[in-house]
């Protein structure tokens, strides 16, 4: 099943029509790789750095900006690192927030098309909604492999190779 992304643009610099196209491609690609509940959906808040900084502080206790945050509607993580999460049952997967300035700056610094970077981040946030994580190395290997595979289906380069080269 595919995912219906609903965008809430709180910051005017976001190109919602472009993001809807990106989301459609991500949704189709995820459908070939992962099992999802019928009529899956996620709400995506498109905000600025100040808003995501506040959200990061409020929900994670981190006094910094970030590119994306996710709030899954159900806890799908498993206790043992290196195992895939439980399958989602609730079609309302959760909420994502994306910060325009951070996303734009990262794409520019990495010499990556903004649309490719946004596709990666939307996929990344969605995988968090589905219980994937990258805190433990064994979990990161699984999550990154899924990202790389899905992005390759969309003709988007491995974001981890690109990011490693610019650091």
Q: What is the DSSP string of 69-88?
A: EEEESS----SSTTSPPPPP
- At the top level of CATH, the class of 3-160 is alpha beta
Q: What is the DSSP pairing of strand 3-9 with strand 40-47?
A: parallel
Measure the CA–CA gap between 87 and 46, rounded to whole angstroms.
27
Name the residue ranges covered by the structural domains of the chain.
3-160
CB 50 within 8 Å of CB 10: no
Question: Starting at the edge strand that comes first in sequence, how are the strands of the sheet with 40-47 ordered?
Answer: 3-9, 40-47, 92-99, 68-72
Give the predicted TM-score (pTM) of the model.
0.93
Q: Which residue has the tokens 């929900």?
A: 59
Helix (H, G, I), strand (E, B) or coil at 45: strand
Task: Report pLDDT digits (tens) over 70-118.
Answer: 999 999 999 899 999 999 999 999 999 999 999 999 999 999 999 999 9
Helix (H, G, I), strand (E, B) or coil at 98: strand
Radius of gyration of the chain (CA): 15
Task: Report pLDDT digits (tens) over 16-30.
Answer: 999 999 999 999 999
Q: Is the pLDDT at 165 greater than 80, yes or no?
A: no
């Amino acid at each position: 099943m595919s995912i219906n992304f609903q965008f809430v643009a709180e910051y005017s610099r976001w190109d919602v029509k472009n993001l809807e196209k990106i989301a459609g491609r991500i949704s189709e690609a995820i459908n070939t790789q992962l099992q999802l509940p019928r009529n899956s959906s996620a709400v995506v808040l498109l905000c600025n750095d100040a808003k995501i900084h506040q959200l990061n502080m409020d929900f994670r206790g981190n006094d910094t900006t970030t590119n994306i945050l996710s709030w899954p509607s159900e806890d799908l993580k498993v206790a043992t690192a290196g195992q895939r999460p439980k399958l989602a049952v609730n079609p309302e997967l959760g909420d994502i927030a994306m910060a325009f300035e951070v996303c734009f700056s990262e794409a520019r610094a990495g010499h990556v098309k903004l649309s490719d970077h946004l596709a990666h981040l939307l996929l990344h946030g969605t995988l968090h909604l589905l219980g994937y994580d990258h805190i433990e190395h064994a979990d990161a290997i699984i999550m990154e492999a899924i990202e790389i595979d899905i992005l390759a289906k969309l003709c988007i380069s491995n974001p981890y190779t690109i990011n490693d080269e610019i650091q």
